[in-house]
Amino acid sequence: MGRKGAETRARLLDTAQELIEAGGYFGAGLNQVIAASGMPRGSLYFHFPGGKDELIAEALRRAGREIADAAHQLATTAPDTTALVTGLITMLGDRLESSGWRKGCPVATVALELAATHDVLQQVCAEVYDSWERILSDRLAADGHPDPEGAATTVLALIEGALLLARARRDRRSLDTVARRAAVLLTAS
């Protein structure tokens, strides 16, 4: 794929990510993606011959990788898991607040909408969450935590819930509370 093709594909994915995160699967219709991206319908189907589901799946994977890359970077620089979790919550909170409370978790809305009815997108959401959990679990294991997998699941669930509450309230207090409580839970183990 040439530079122009790669730019077109990236623009479609950028737009789909924005629309998914703000309004979920149903808020990211093909007409909305085409209108917001400024790309012709033919370009969308050229790059995503599977249509909306292929576009949404790739946008979810891409958004998941972006968060995973940031988490991995934090994992390699943070002195311990508590600092990793605090840094991750701060990063996600900054992202949420700077987006006008539109960008919480990039996969949560789609996961909630489609987990029971759309196997392919449910699997993509599960893969994204699994990748984030692995980063946390690996760091917890490296720090000698007695139950790295269980603690990683707990921490991810706390972060996801805090993002949802922060977005609903348009307020960071739940994120700050979870950062403090996660630190207590991780040091108590």
Contact (Cβ atoms closer than 8 angstroms) between residue 156 and residue 136: yes
Residue 85 domain boundaries: 3-188
Mean pLDDT of successive 10-residue stretches along the chain, which has 189 residues: 83 94 92 92 92 96 96 95 96 95 92 91 96 97 95 97 96 96 86
Q: Is 45 exposed, middle or buried (0-12, 13-18, 19+ CB in 10 A)?
A: middle
Number of domains in the chain: 1
CATH of the domain at 169: 1.10.357.10
pLDDT at 188: 73
Confidence (pTM): 0.92
